[in-house]
Structures are given as C-alpha cells and as structure tokens.
C-alpha cells in the first residue's frame, strides 16, 4: 500500500475507529488521497504547487498598487451558515454571475476583531490583507461560511414556483406562474380537488371574533400564521406585512426550539422579558470564563469571533477557562490543557451545578456584597459600580395574595407604587430604593399592610433559601460533578471576581430550561461583573434603527393597524385573565389545571403554534406562510406528532412556504415560492451579542438572483411575493405612496429595493452622516452595479452615502468605542434581578403553584410538575441523550458538498463503560430508543463523554434538502440519498405524557422551549 494512503488510513482509524471509518469515511478519504497524489479526484492539477486553487483575488505590485483579477470583484456579504451572521466578502465572477470564494469582511467586527475605521478606503483595506500585514489584518470565514456559496448553484435548489400535485408529502408538484400563485392563495377555491379552501382575502377579517365566547382571542385574521427562521435581515419588512398590514397577531420563529430556554432565563436576570437581553464574556479582558451549556469556538454566538478571541486570549493573554458539558468539546484539547479544562456533567443537570456554586459562593464570602448592596441607579453611581441589582429589595411572602411582588412605598403610605422599599444598611430603617446609599442584603422582617402583618424577605435572602435546600453533596449526586470540583470552580470565580464570567447558550434546552438558565446567569450578578471590563458584556446592538430613520419612515404608513388578540401559543397573556378561567370560577370549579399550559412571560412559541392550531386551543389556523422555517426537523418529536397532522388539509387548509430548498417541513406545503438566497437578497442585521461596538450589517444582491424575474425587474422571492400579495388584496403599507420621507413626500413600495435602499439611506444619515463613497470604492466592491437602481430610488445627496454603506457591508462604530475605562461603553441600565417579580407573581396554569422569582432547582419536569423520572424510570431508560453543535454542519447545510465530504455523517457517542454493559463495540451499528422514537447509527465508543450519556451531533439525519427525489411536472429533481446520512436527535423527542387534552411534545414547563437535552433512552447493538 502507498505510504501516504496508509498514513491517512491510520489517522482515520484513530479518529473514528475501523468500523465507523469503513462505513462512513472510506469514500471521502479515498478522494482525498487521490487529490493528494494525482490532483483532485484523480484529475491532474493546474499547478504543481498551487494545485487547482483560484488565482488570487487581487495582486499587489512591487510599487504597492493593488490590481483586481480580470472580470472579478470582491463584494461585502452576510453569512447565513449559522445565526452569528458574520460579515463576509464574496469574490464574484461578474461575467459568469458566480460567487467563486468566500472570506471575511475586513471592516466587520464579527470577522475582524480589530477592524479598521469604516472611513478607510476600500483599496487601502484590501491592500492590508496582503503580505506580512495580512497576518494582523486577516479576515476569515469559518468552514460553513466558506462553503455555503455553493448553495447558489446547488442542484437541490428551487427556482420555480411549485404547487402540490398530489397529497401533502407525496413529493409531487407542478410548476405554476406568479399570477396563478397570487390568484389562488388570495382568492382560494377548490385548489386541489379536495374541497373549498379559504384564501387570504377571506381570512383577513378584522372585525369578527375568532371565538365569540372568548373575545380576548381577537379577530379571525389571527387565523393566519407567519413564521420565519429568525431575523436574518428581513424581519422589519415581514413584520410590516404580518402585524400592521394583514393584521394577524401570529408571528413566530425558530428561537423556541433553538436557544429560547437560555434567552428566557437571561431575560429574567436582565429584567427584560420583552426582548430577552443577554450578554457574552468580554473575552478580550476576562481572566476566567466558566462555560455551562455552551462551548466557545464550537457553539454559542458569536461563534467565529469568540473562537478567534479565545485562541488569542489563551495564547497571548491570561485567560483560563472551563467547559462544563456531557461531552468533551472541541474547544478543549491536549494542546491547551494548561488553560482550558473540561468538567463532565450529567445531561440536563446544569441547574444543580449552578445552585451548588451559588451556595458555595454565599457560604465562602464569594459574592460581591458591596456591589449587591446598591439598591438603585443613585446608589450605583455614588458607589462607582458598573450596574445594580434588586438583591436588597423586599419580596412579599405567602400567604399574602400578592406574594412574589416587591414591597412598595404605596403599601406603607410612604410614596408611590413604583418605588420599592429596602432596609438602610446603616440605620436599619426602611428607605426608598432610589436612595443613594447601600441597603441591607440579608433581611427577614414583618411589616403591616392595611392593618395586616406581612412577612417580607430580601431578594438575596430568598435566593439563599433556595440554594440551601440541598447540600453540596446532594447537588453533586444530582449532576455528577464531584464536590471538590464544585468547590474548585467556586474558588476560581471568587478569586477572579469581576473578571470571571459564567457563559451559557443553547445547551440550556432541558426539561427545566428557564430556571436552569436563570440560575447559571445569576452567578454573574453575584459576582458583580455585568457591564464591567472583563465581565459579562451586553451586546452593543445596531448603529441605529434602519426602519424609522432620519430620511425615511419605514414603520408608519396610512392605514396601519395594530394586531389584536391572544397569540396562538398562549404567551404574553396570563391564564387568570382568560374567559376560560373566569367561567370556571363562576361555576365554582377549580380553575386549575388549564386545558394546556399558558406561557405568560414567554415570546411567541413555534413549539406551541401548530399543536395549538391542530387541537383548536385556543383556536384553529386556516393558513400558514412559512419563510425558511423547519420545525418538523428542529423540534424534538415534531416529525412524528405534528408532521402526521400537517399532512391533513382539514387540520390546516392552506400552507404556503417561501424557501430556496425543500426541507422536512416545506415538503408538506401546498405551494412553495422559491426564495432568493443570502448573496442574492437584501437585509440589515445586528449582532446578537458579544460585540462591544455598535454594528449594523447591510446585505445586498452581489449576484443576479436565479429565481424568475418579474416585469418590474424584481425577482421572485419573499419580498416580491409579499408586496404583490398585499397589492392584490389592496392592503395598506404597500404599493403607491406607501413610504414617506423626511420632507413629507410619498414613495411607492413595489420592489424589494424600494424598502431596503431607503433603509440604507437611513443608516447612512443616522447621527453623523457617513462620507460619500468614492468611485473606486464602488468599483472595487461592485456596488457600482446598483448605482442606476439607487439613482432611481434615492435623492441625489443620499446616493453616494448609501453606496458607502453597501461598499463596506454595513456601518460600524470604531473598535475603541467598546469600553470606557473599566466599564463597557454600551451598558445595561435595567435593575438586574436576583428576584424577578414578574416571574415571582406568576402562577403556573397547569398546577396552580406560584412560581419562584429566583434561581431554583426543579430538575426535568413535565407540564403537570411531575418529574420526568416518575414516568420513565432509570431502570428502564438508563441513559440520557444530549446534543452538541458541529464545527462544520448546521441544520440546513447538508447540501454543501465540500462540508459533507469532510464530515458526511454523525456517529452516536457513548461512554466506554456504558458500551461494555450494553455489549457494544466501537464502530458497531446500534439502535438508540427513547419513549418517543428510535434511530440507528454507528457507535463511537469514547472516554470523552460522561457515563450515563449518549451524545448526537446536530445537523444530520435529514429526509429532505436533496435526500429524497421530488417530481416536478413529472420529472425528478436532483437527489442524493447520502444527504440523509447520520441521525437527527430530534427524531427521539417524546410527547409530554401529562398533557392529556391538548397534546404536544415535551417542552420546558415554564418557558415553552423545546427539550433536546436529557431525553431518557436505552441503547442496543443491531
């Protein structure tokens, strides 16, 4: 055997074992070997040294002059390989209308941690990428970002409008024209020979209640659901239609089955249960980071940026970090074991570890008492603290009917109801929280409210009471982390103080997701690190609003309406305010349990939307417009439960999908509108967190879309569909005179560019206007191709400034503006919550229990409050399934051939001892079973997973996205069964056995977030 080939084979065996290697990796390694020896897959290379690499995107002459490759430009773009949405640069072949290569946008802080000033000319910035200077100024893309450009020419992509030609899910379609699409979805009719279907015109009834017995449900217009994957830059456009033009209340996205458990818990800490604010470590200055439920450089957001920061901090700075996870993460290796350590933990038990650390810090003088003693903004300022909390505020205790809220000045006739009372640390007397002096931390006393004695307890005392419910030994037994390790983590947090940070993200998605995240993030408040340099840093957000800016109002318009009624997912509305509750009381019945959970403090939940609609509680849907969403793949158990019901048009009569591909959910649609992809579309985004400088990314079409072109020059996609749909229905906010400018003039909204170019003008003129783009800027980035369209749309003084935004790929504050001395410049002003009174005043609709307003360990529970193990005992289901993120694959990238050939499938990881007990050998086919499903895959027996856990890498196990052939006009679309390789953990999701009347899959009992960590399971050899 050839020596090079033998070496690769040995490496493959070490990485995956002979069984897994032979089954899953032989073909890609064979091709890799051919490439090494003979060129790419056996074809001789173009150059003996450079192989088949592209010619450089530009050359630097000896005199320092930059020259672009012929017929090529380098345009700024936005990535959609994951939800970080980095700013990238695309090398575009202008003659072939192709993206040749993707790298990082050097202006963008998500791709270049120390980006140059945005005013720096493009030519100068491009020149800095070359030579020795390129090492300092290098701006890169991750593997996903570099590979996903091939989706533009993917054989699995949709470029025609499709109407189903058989039953839902059969995979039979006919192509139709744009006008037929609009006619049928607007007017309805007997569209499929299955009976009459109401069109959108009939559904948009803003006056008739959807249920006369429950007027709080709102009008029949709420029977339209619109969803998207998340805000990838087009939310402001889509919500304009959903809420204010059509008038439905129901809009949802993937957050509830991605990271909402973390975001909800974070929102409770940040006192923001509307936008669910969160923060990320200040990696540039932190000295110790404890990651729980996330792994830097592998998961979390911003994925790529924090990977670079981590690498720099651990090699050049003084950063130590620990990752707590059931599986050994890629961010820990033997190469950095002096700085990075792994602490194994049982899946879905992070709440036990967090409460143990809270207890240890309290008992070992590890909390920042001077910080916590400041009761409000005035005291914070006087003490020079970075933020303040409600640790000293007094919580009314049971049996008072308003237990859980704070004691206010109005209660004792000392002032108004907005002023909370605290105890003066010096005098022991009650005082307003607005006082500029410290308050007592540990308080339990009795006050008199309206002649009745009432017990009150400080927030911090409530938290201590919660943490002391168990000993460190008990917590250790619950989570599997030894007591000495818990104590060691506590000592590290105490030693580093404000330069210690506790980070979390999507790994919080367990059967107690909300309270787990609440507990983990409370550790930061106890350390006093929020807003502090080296602590937990809130995201700076966007440079400014692009929707309602100095040039154009893209929010308000004539005829604008406000949606009314109850969200389909029963969120942001207390069950106690419902007609159902009131009817039960009037009948003398106990109002609890409700028919299904109500989530009074949660965002709209796509985890509940479909189950609610299919059961008719609170009401049914008549239509669904889905943009890029794939809940049947992403929600545990949804494929089996919701997918079967979605196949029945009687359950949901009209299903319209807008997408560039057919995924597991859109395969059941009635119509599919082909969408423009990331490098063909418009959009404005801001980083989710972790970026200390204000940043707004601007995305624009750097290549001509592959979808059909309409007579007005627009291309079929989300925007053109919505615009023409609204115009056909004569809805407000679209068509003639839909947009007003700063001088009161009106402009039409007929094309996608009518909206987004005006958003670019708003961004350009916000605050201090940006300079004009030079002709050279526009030519080098090919923003010049848009100048004729800009000339038609914008005022003369706006054109070159909008060109400046487009040539940079957004607008970015200077790097230096991230900090002010020892503080973050963009700081959280809210009172941080040790006790959240909104949560503490809420009642769980299924049990009638008052929710605790502070971090509390509940463990994995079902909706009725019963522990998961009461239903699925360890004796029958000895293992717990957990997921982890891939460096390479996302839930929608399986069709990217370059990624798939590197990592074509995912194994099922199992601890060596568990494998021995089950008689399983490394590389052997196995069957993994849960109460909700089963999958078969290849066993990866390893020591890098905690005993009792089974781990599955996310992003595999597809049944669509090119894995199955669909027939269009009788001809098969391209398909490759290998795209379905591997397993999808969500096929193992289970139903909540306690939801008898309105069935649904297992969700976090308080927030409604999907459960994907800690599924009970057993494994067997096949």
Express each pLDDT in 163-183 by its tens digit. 999 999 999 999 999 999 999
Residue with tokens 């008992």: 363
How many CB atoms within 10 Å of residue 704?
12
Can you tell me the distance from the alpha carbon of 619 to that of 623, in angstroms, rounded to the nearest whole number? Answer: 13
CA dist., res. 285 & res. 743, Å (int):
46
Q: Report whether 992 contacts 1001 (CB < 8 A).
A: yes
Buried-exposed string 718-749: b where 16+ CB fall within 10 A, e elsewhere: bbbbbbbbbbbbebbbbbeebbbbeeeeebeb
Closest C-alpha among 1004, 862, 986, 833 to residue 260 = 1004
Ramachandran sector of residue 733 (left: φ over 0; alpha: ψ -120 to 50; beta: rest): left
Q: Are 626 and 658 in contact (CB under 8 A)?
A: yes
| The pLDDT of residue 60 | 87
Average pLDDT over residues 934-963: 97
Pairwise CA distance, residues 349 & 949, whole Å: 12
CA distances from 629 to 251, 511, 626 (A): 12, 23, 6
Q: Report whether pLDDT(984) > 60.
A: yes
Q: For residue 30, give every residue at least 6 positions away whose Cβ sits within 8 Å of its Cβ, in sequence order, or none.
A: none
Peptide bond into 549 cis (omega under 30): no
Residue 185 above 90 pLDDT?
A: yes
What distance in Å separates the CA atoms of residue 605 and residue 936, rounded to the nearest whole number? Answer: 30
Q: What number of CA atoms fall less than 13 Å from residue 258's CA on the CB side?
A: 19
Considering only 311-315, 471-475, 595-599, 651-655, which range has the smallest mean pLDDT? 311-315
Per DSSP, the residues of 436-478 read SS-B-SS-EEEEEETTEEEEEEEHHHHHHHHHTTS-HHHHHHH
Does residue 407 contact residue 388 with C-beta atoms inside 8 Å?
Answer: no
Q: How do residues 370-413 score in pLDDT, each as one tens digit?
A: 999 999 999 999 999 999 999 999 999 999 999 999 999 999 99
- How far, in Å, are 241, 891, 993 from residue 935 at the CA level? 41, 17, 21
The residues near 176 (Cβ < 8 Å, ≥ 6 apart) are 161, 162, 163
Whether omega for the bond prior to residue 713 falls within 30 degrees of 0, making it cis, is no
pLDDT (0 to 100) of residue 22: 37
Asked if 188 contacts 202 with a C-beta cutoff of 8 angstroms, the reply is yes
List C-alpha distances in Å: 53 to 47, 49, 524, 732.
8, 9, 47, 52
CB distance 623 to 276 below 8 Å: no
Largest CA distance in the chain: 92
Q: What confidence tens digit (pLDDT) does each residue in 539-576 have?
A: 888 887 789 999 999 999 999 999 999 999 999 999 99
Give the pLDDT mean for 512-538.
97
587, pLDDT greater than 90: yes
Distance CA 723, CA 246 (A): 12
CA distances from 516 to 213, 255, 504, 670, 860 (A): 38, 17, 10, 40, 10
CA-based torsion, 842, 845, 850, 855: positive or negative: negative
Q: Per-residue pLDDT tens for 768-825?
A: 999 999 999 999 999 999 999 999 999 999 999 999 999 999 999 998 888 899 999 9
Q: Do the beta carbons of residue 835 and residue 463 sit within 8 Å?
A: yes
Please say if the pLDDT value at position 585 is more than 60. yes
Mean pLDDT, residues 844-863: 97
Model confidence pLDDT, tens digit, residues 35-71: 444 444 456 777 777 777 777 888 888 888 899 888 8
The yes-or-no verdict on residue 992 having pLDDT over 90 is: yes
Q: Is 344 helix (H, G, I), strand (E, B) or coil?
A: strand
The answer to whether 780 and 73 are in contact (CB under 8 A) is yes
User: DSSP letters along 566-584, please?
Assistant: --TT-BSS-GGGSHHHHHH
Find the mean pLDDT for residues 631-653. Answer: 96
Arithmetic mean of pLDDT over the chain: 92
Residues 6+ apart with CB under 8 A from 666: 626, 630, 657, 659, 672, 960
List helix spans (H) across 562-630. 579-586, 606-615
Output the CA–CA distances (angstroms, integers) from residue 496 to 315, 823, 946, in the order listed.
19, 16, 28
| φ, ψ (nearest 5 deg) of residue 416 | -100, 175
Average pLDDT over residues 986-1012: 97
Query: Is the model's pLDDT at 12 over the cut of 70?
Result: no
In angstroms, rounded to a whole number, what is the distance separating the alpha carbons of residues 431 and 409?
9
Mean pLDDT of all residues in 195-216: 98
Q: State residue 135's pLDDT score.
A: 67
- Answer yes or no: are the C-beta atoms of 340 and 331 closer than 8 Å: yes
**Residue 15's pLDDT is what?**
31
Q: What CA–CA distance (Å, rounded) separates 875 from 894?
A: 37
pLDDT at 543: 84
Q: What is the mean pLDDT of residues 613-630?
A: 97
Question: Could you say which DSSP state residue 511 is in?
Answer: T
> Please, what sign has the CA dihedral across residues 221, 222, 227, 230?
positive
Q: Is the pLDDT of residue 20 over 70?
A: no
The pLDDT, as a whole number, for residue 42 is 56
The Cα 261–Cα 504 span in angstroms is: 10
Let me know the angle formed at the C-alpha of 993 by 257 and 598, rounded to the nearest 5 degrees. Answer: 55
550, 877, 587, 985: which is closest to 742 by C-alpha?
A: 550
Greater confidence (125 vs 114) lies with 125
Across 251-260, 488-497, 526-535, 709-718, least confident range: 251-260
Give me the pLDDT at residue 33, please: 39
pLDDT range class, residue 856, cuts 50, 70, 90: very high
pLDDT of residue 19: 34
Token reading at 663? 């995924």
Which residues, 6 or more positions from 589, have their beta carbon under 8 angstroms from its beta carbon? none
pLDDT mean over 287-316: 88
Which DSSP state fits 433? T
Determine the pLDDT at residue 545.
75
Say whether pLDDT at 83 is over 60: yes
pLDDT digits (tens, 9 = 90+) for 676-719: 999 999 999 999 888 989 999 999 999 999 999 999 999 999 99
Give the integer Cα–Cα distance in Å for 262 and 113: 25
**Percent of the chain scoring above 90 in pLDDT:** 83
pLDDT confidence bin for 133, thresholds 50/70/90: low
**What's the confidence (pLDDT) of residue 519?**
98
Q: In 25-166, which ranges are continuous DSSP H helix? A: 26-38, 122-128, 133-137, 143-147
Give the lowest-confidence range in 333-342, 906-915, 916-925. 333-342
What pLDDT does 188 receive? 98
Cα gap 70→817, rounded to integer Å: 38
Contacts by 99-103, CB closer than 8 A, 24 or more apart: 99/149, 99/152, 99/679, 99/702, 99/703, 100/54, 100/72, 100/149, 101/54, 101/57, 101/146, 101/149, 102/77, 102/141, 102/145, 102/146, 102/147, 102/148, 102/149, 103/139, 103/140, 103/141, 103/146
Q: Are 352 and 343 in contact (CB under 8 A)?
A: no
């Amino acid at each position: 055997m050839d020596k090079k080939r033998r070496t690769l084979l040995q490496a493959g065996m070490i990485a995956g074992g002979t069984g897994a290697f032979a089954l899953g990796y032989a073909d890609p390694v064979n091709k890799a070997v051919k490439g090494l020896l003979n060129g790419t897959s056996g074809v001789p290379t173009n150059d003996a040294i450079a192989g088949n690499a592209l010619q450089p995107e530009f050359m630097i002459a000896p005199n320092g002059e930059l020259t672009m490759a012929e017929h090529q430009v380098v345009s700024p773009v936005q990535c959609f390989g994951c939800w970080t949405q980095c700013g990238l640069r695309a090398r575009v072949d202008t003659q072939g209308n192709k993206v040749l290569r993707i790298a990082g946008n050097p202006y963008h802080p998500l791709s270049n941690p120390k980006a140059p000033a945005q005013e720096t000319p493009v030519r100068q910035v491009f020149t800095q990428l070359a030579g020795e200077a390129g090492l300092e100024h290098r701006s890169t893309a991750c593997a996903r970002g570099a590979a996903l450009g091939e989706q533009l020419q993917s054989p699995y992509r949709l470029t025609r409008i499709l109407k189903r030609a058989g039953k839902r899910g059969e995979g039979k379609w006919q192509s139709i024209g744009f006008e037929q699409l609009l006619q049928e979805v607007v007017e309805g009719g007997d569209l499929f020979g299955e009976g009459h279907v109401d069109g959108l015109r009939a559904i948009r009834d803003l006056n008739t209640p959807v249920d006369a017995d429950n007027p709080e449900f709102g009008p029949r217009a709420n029977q339209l659901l619109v969803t998207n994957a998340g805000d990838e830059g087009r939310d402001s456009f889509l919500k304009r239609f959903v809420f204010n033009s059509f008038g439905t209340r129901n809009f949802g996205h993937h957050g509830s089955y991605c990271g909402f458990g973390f975001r909800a818990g974070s929102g409770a800490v940040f006192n923001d249960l509307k936008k669910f604010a969160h923060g990320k470590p200040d990696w540039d200055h932190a000295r110790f980071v404890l990651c729980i439920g996330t792994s830097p450089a592998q998961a979390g957001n911003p994925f790529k940026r924090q990977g670079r920061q981590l690498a720099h901090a651990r090699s050049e700075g003084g950063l130590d970090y620990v990752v707590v996870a059931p599986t050994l993460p890629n961010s820990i290796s033997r190469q950095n074991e002096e700085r990075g350590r792994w602490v194994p933990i049982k899946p879905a038990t992070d709440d036990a570890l967090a409460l143990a650390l809270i207890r240890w810090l309290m008992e070992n003088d590890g909390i920042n008492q001077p910080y916590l003693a400041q009761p409000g903004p005035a005291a914070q300022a006087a003490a020079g603290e970075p933020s303040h909390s409600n640790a000293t505020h007094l919580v009314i205790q049971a049996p008072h009917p308003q237990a859980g809220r704070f004691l206010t000045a109005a209660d004792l006739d000392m002032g108004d109801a907005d002023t909370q009372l605290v105890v003066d640390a010096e005098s022991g007397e009650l005082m307003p929280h607005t006082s500029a002096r410290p308050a007592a931390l540990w308080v339990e006393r009795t006050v008199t409210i309206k002649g009745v004695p009432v017990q009150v307890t400080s927030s911090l005392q409530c938290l201590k009471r919660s943490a002391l419910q168990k000993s460190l030994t008990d917590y250790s037994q619950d989570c599997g982390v030894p007591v000495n390790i818990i104590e060691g983590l506590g000592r590290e947090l105490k030693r580093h103080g404000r330069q210690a940070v506790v980070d979390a993200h999507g790994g919080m998605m367990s059967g107690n997701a909300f309270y787990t995240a609440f507990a983990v993030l409370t550790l930061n408040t106890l350390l006093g690190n929020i807003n502090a340099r080296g602590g937990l840093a809130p995201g700076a957000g966007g440079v400014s609003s692009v929707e309602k800016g100095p040039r154009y109002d893209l929010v308000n318009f004539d005829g604008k309406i406000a949606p009314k009624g109850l969200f389909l997912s029963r969120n942001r509305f207390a069950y106690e305010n419902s007609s159902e509750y009131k009817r039960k009381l009037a009948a003398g019945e106990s109002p609890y349990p409700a028919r299904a959970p109500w989530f009074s403090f949660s965002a709209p939940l796509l985890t509940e939307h479909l189950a609610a609609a299919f059961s008719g509680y609170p009401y049914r849907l008549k239509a669904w417009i889905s943009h890029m969403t794939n809940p049947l793949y992403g929600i545990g158990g949804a494929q089996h439960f919701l997918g079967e019901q979605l196949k029945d048009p009687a359950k949901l009569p009209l299903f319209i999908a807008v997408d560039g591909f057919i995924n597991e959910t859109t395969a059941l649609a009635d119509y599919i509108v082909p969408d423009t992809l990331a490098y063909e579309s418009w959009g404005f985004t801001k980083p989710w967190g972790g970026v200390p400088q204000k940043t707004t990314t601007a995305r624009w079409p750097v290549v001509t879309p592959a979808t059909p072109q309409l007579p007005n020059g627009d291309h079929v996609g989300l925007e053109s569909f919505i615009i023409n749909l609204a115009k056909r229905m004569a809805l407000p906010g679209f068509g003639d005179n839909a947009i007003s400018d700063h001088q009161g003039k009106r402009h039409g909204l007929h094309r996608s560019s009518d909206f987004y170019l005006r958003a670019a003008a708003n961004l350009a003129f916000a605050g201090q206007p940006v300079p004009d783009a030079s002709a050279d800027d526009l030519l080098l980035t090919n923003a010049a191709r848009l100048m004729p369209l800009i000339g038609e749309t914008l005022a003369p003084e706006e054109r070159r400034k909008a060109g400046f935004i487009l040539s940079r790929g957004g607008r970015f504050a200077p790097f230096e503006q991230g900090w002010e001395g020892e503080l973050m410049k963009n700081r959280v002003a809210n009172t941080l919550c040790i006790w959240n009174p909104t949560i503490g005043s809420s009642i769980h609709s299924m049990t009638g229990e008052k929710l605790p307003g502070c971090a509390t360990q509940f463990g994995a529970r079902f909706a009725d409050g019963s522990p998961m193990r009461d239903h699925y005992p360890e004796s029958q289901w000895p293992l717990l399934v957990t997921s982890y993120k891939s460096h390479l694959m996302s839930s929608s990238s399986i069709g990217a051939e370059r990624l798939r050939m590197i990592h074509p499938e995912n194994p099922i990881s199992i601890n060596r001892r568990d494998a021995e007990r089950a008689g399983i050998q490394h590389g052997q086919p196995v069957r993994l079973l849960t109460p909700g499903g089963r999958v078969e895959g290849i066993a990866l027996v390893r020591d890098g997973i905690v005993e009792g856990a089974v781990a599955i890498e996310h992003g595999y196990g597809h049944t669509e996205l090119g894995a199955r052939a669909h027939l269009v006009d009788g001809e098969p679309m391209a398909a490759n069964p290998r795209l379905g390789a591997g397993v999808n953990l969500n096929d193992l999701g289970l139903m909540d056995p306690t939801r008898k009347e309105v069935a649904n899959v297992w969700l976090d009992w308080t927030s409604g977030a999907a459960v994907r960590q800690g599924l009970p399971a057993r494994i067997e050899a096949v």
